[in-house]
Amino acid sequence: MLHLVRRDAPAAWDTQATDVGAETCLPTVFIVHIVGHSMEPVVPEGSLVCVDAARRDPMPGEIVAVYIHAEGRMIGYWSDIPGTLTKANPAFGPVDLNRKGPWEVLGTVVATVADQFARLDPVTTEPDTRAIEAVLGLAPRTVSALRRAGINTMRDLQRRTEDDLGRVWGIGRQSREHIVRALDSVGRSLRPGRR
């Protein structure tokens, strides 16, 4: 569930929440408060996310906000299967939006303020959407385990901590070490863990 924080968001958002100062935001960006655990650990419950309403044609792997007319608002990874969202939390399965009735993409998440302002996790406007297997040369078993957890692109992987990977079924210590070395070999890294 998402709660609007800015008043001038698309009409599908609840407009009873507090204005956060439009002068500091791009005209098409609004901020929402995340309620729920389906995108953890990438977007923890209580996070604020910036959604760019001008980016309503997402690429696979990008986090999007959608409005399902019968159920409300949610976020998830835009899938390469049209009308399907996947979740970061493996306890939640994919969401087939077409089975839910009328829906619309409200925008693409462009930044996250996680853990009640504890850390800022910016998402670039030019995400690295290359498939992890095309860049890192990981074992097929490792790639399959990552995909089951919704980790499909380099950007998806770089947004995780080593602890996050430790919670992915099928990724053990050796696989984590191999992933870290493979990322390092291409000048990339996992997100630093909490201190």
Q: Give the pLDDT confidence of 139-187 residue by residue, as tens digits.
A: 888 888 898 888 888 888 888 888 888 888 889 999 899 899 888 887 7
Q: Where are the domains of the chain?
A: 2-122, 132-185
- One of 2.130.10, 3.30.70, 1.10.760, 1.10.150 is the CATH number of 132-185, namely 1.10.150
> pLDDT at position 139, please?
84
For the chain, strand residue ranges (E) read 2-4, 29-34, 48-52, 63-68, 72-78, 84-86, 95-96, 103-114, 119-122
CATH level 3 topology of 2-122: Umud Fragment, subunit A (2.10.109)
Q: Whole-angstrom Cα distance, residue 108 to residue 58? A: 7
> pLDDT at position 194, please?
55
State the Rg of the chain over Cα. Answer: 17
Place of tokens 């800022």: 120
